[in-house]
Amino acid sequence: MQLTNATFEFIEMLDEKSDVSSLIDAFQTLIGKFGMVCFLVGDATQPKVQRHDRLWATTWPLAWLERWRSRNYITVDPVLNQLLLRNELVRWRDVRRVDDAAGMRVLDEASDYGLKDGLTLPVYGRDGLLIGITLGTDRYDLDRQAETCLHLASIYFHSKLEQLRAGQTFRLAEPKMTPRERECLSWVAAGKTDWEISQILNIAEQTVHEYVQNALIKLRSTTRAQAVATAIFTKQIWA
End-to-end Cα distance, the chain: 12
Distance of CA 163 to the CA centre of its chain: 16
**pLDDT for the residue 73:** 92
Average pLDDT, the chain: 86
CATH class of this structure's domain 179-233: mainly alpha
Which residue ranges make up each domain of the chain? 2-165, 179-233
- HSE at residue 130, side-chain half, CA atoms within 13 A, is 20
d(CA 145, CA 46): 31
**pLDDT for the residue 233:** 62
What residues contact 86, with CB distance under 8 A and at least 6 apart? none
The model's pLDDT over 66-93, given as tens digits with 9 standing for 90+, comes to 889 889 999 999 999 999 888 889 999 9
Mean pLDDT of 29-55: 88
Question: Who wins on pLDDT, 231 or 15?
Answer: 15
Return the HEC string of the chain.
Answer: CHHHHHHHHHHHCHHHCCCHHHHHHHHHHHHHHCCCCEEEEEECCCCCCCCCCCEEEECCCHHHHHHHHHCCHHHCCHHHHHHHHHCCCEEHHHHCCCCCHHHHHHHHHHHCCCCCEEEEEEEECCCCCEEEEEEEECCCCCCHHHHHHHHHHHHHHHHHHHHHHCCCCCCCCCCCCCHHHHHHHHHHHCCCCHHHHHHHHCCCHHHHHHHHHHHHHHCCCCCHHHHHHHHHHCCCCCC
**pLDDT for the residue 208:** 93
**pLDDT for the residue 170:** 42
**pLDDT for the residue 171:** 45
pTM of the predicted model over 0.85: no
CA dihedral 20, 169, 127, 150 (to 10 degrees): 50
d(CA 8, CA 4): 6
**pLDDT for the residue 209:** 93
> At residue 29, does pLDDT exceed 90?
yes
In this predicted structure, which of 95-99, 169-173, 226-230 has the lowest mean pLDDT?
Answer: 169-173
The model's pLDDT over 131-181, given as tens digits with 9 standing for 90+, comes to 899 999 999 999 999 999 999 999 999 989 888 877 643 444 456 789 999
> At residue 223, does pLDDT exceed 80?
no
Correct CATH for 2-165 of 3.30.450.80, 2.160.20.10, 1.10.620.20, 3.40.1050.10: 3.30.450.80
State the CB neighbour count (10 A cutoff) for residue 144.
9
Domain 179-233 in the same topology as domain 2-165: no
